[in-house]
């Protein structure tokens, strides 16, 4: 069974803190997405990773394909970062492109 | 603005009623998907399409049907709604693999309540 585990489920931080969200998955994959879901419900794709590390502004995502693990880091966190962060590995089923399997998400709340 | 548009945004149905959710994308993406999101669970794939005229079942297809008559549109139908189909539904589209990037764009969601 394809499984995705995220930790922590909930995270409260003070503004300025360094945040780490972890994701582990059960089978070999070719790529992994990190998504952000705002309190209003909209979902935005932050990163797609197949190896190494990517950085966009204060967000950094890393992946270790062999270890089946990815992390999302937020530096100098801000209240506007409050959202649910979702890990979604691209599992190899359903055709050549594969399909995403979604973690349950990590709810981040950043206090001023 | 380019992207994925879902209609309607909200709907309340009575048990046994039918309805169709519409997803439209203007990015010329080949792949389109319907997901449902329930409290305490990750998004789950209902049906997907890898191109015009093709559809396939996902993880939770029972009670739903889909059609992709035009490349830009992906319709999700509920023939006889049940309270278990109360959920938030998201449509998404993605481009074919170009290099290592599989871009996903999500719609804003449809909140459906079946009473």
Residue A31 above 60 pLDDT? yes
Q: Rounded to whole angstroms, how far apart are CA atoms B86 and B115? A: 8
Specify burial of residue B97 (Cβ count, 10 A radius: 0-12, 13-18, 19+).
middle
Q: A33 and B104: CB-CB below 8 Å?
A: yes
For residue B99, the model assigns a pLDDT of 44
> How confident is residue A94, by pLDDT bands cut at 50, 70 and 90?
low
> How confident is residue A104, by pLDDT bands cut at 50, 70 and 90?
very high
Question: Are the C-beta atoms of A108 and A19 separated by less than 8 Å?
Answer: yes
Cβ-Cβ contacts under 8 Å, A41 against chain B? 88, 108-109, 111
Cβ-Cβ contacts under 8 Å, A45 against chain B? 103-106
Residue B101 above 80 pLDDT? no
Largest CA distance in chain B: 46
Question: What average pLDDT is seen over chain A?
Answer: 91
* pLDDT, average across residues B55-67: 95
For residue B100, the model assigns a pLDDT of 46
**Listed residue (A87, A80, A101) closest to A38, CA to CA:** A80
Q: Rounded to whole angstroms, how far apart are CA atoms A77 and A93? A: 36
Residue B9 above 80 pLDDT? yes
Q: Choose between A41 and B46: higher pLDDT.
A: B46
**Listed residue (A110, A85, A88, A112) closest to A8, CA to CA:** A85
Q: A41 and B101: CB-CB below 8 Å?
A: no
Give the lowest-confidence range in A97-106, B5-14, B56-65: A97-106
For residue B98, the model assigns a pLDDT of 47
Question: What average pLDDT is seen over chain B?
Answer: 92
For residue B1, the model assigns a pLDDT of 60
The residues in B 26-85 lying below 8 A from A, measured between CB atoms, are 31, 33, 35, 40-45, 48, 50, 56, 58
For residue B12, the model assigns a pLDDT of 97
* pLDDT, average across residues A88-111: 85
Pairing of strands B73-78, A99-100: unpaired
Nearest to B88 among A41, A94, A99 (CB): A41
């Amino acid at each position: 069974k394809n499984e995705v585990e995220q930790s922590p489920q909930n995270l409260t931080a003070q503004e300025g803190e360094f945040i780490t969200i972890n994701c582990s998955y059960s089978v070999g994959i070719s790529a992994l997405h990190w998504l952000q879901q705002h309190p209003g419900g909209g979902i935005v794709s932050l990163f797609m990773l197949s190896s190494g590390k990517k950085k966009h502004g204060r967000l950094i995502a890393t992946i270790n394909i062999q270890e089946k693990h990815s992390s999302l880091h937020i530096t100098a966190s801000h209240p506007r970062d409050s959202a649910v962060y979702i890990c979604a590995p691209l599992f190899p089923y359903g055709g050549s492109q594969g399909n995403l399997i979604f973690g349950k998400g990590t709810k981040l709340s950043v206090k001023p | 603005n380019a992207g994925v548009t879902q209609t309607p945004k909200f709907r309340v149905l009575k048990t046994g009623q039918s309805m169709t959710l519409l997803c439209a994308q203007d990015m010329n993406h080949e792949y389109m998907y319907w997901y449902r999101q329930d409290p305490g669970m990750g998004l789950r794939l209902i049906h997907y399409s890898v191109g015009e005229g093709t559809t396939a079942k996902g993880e939770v297809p029972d009670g739903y049907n889909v059609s992709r008559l035009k490349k830009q549109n992906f319709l999700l139908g509920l023939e006889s709604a049940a309270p278990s189909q109360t959920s938030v539904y998201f449509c998404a589209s993605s481009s074919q693999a170009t290099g290592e990037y599989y871009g996903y764009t999500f719609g804003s969601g449809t909140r459906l309540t079946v009473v």
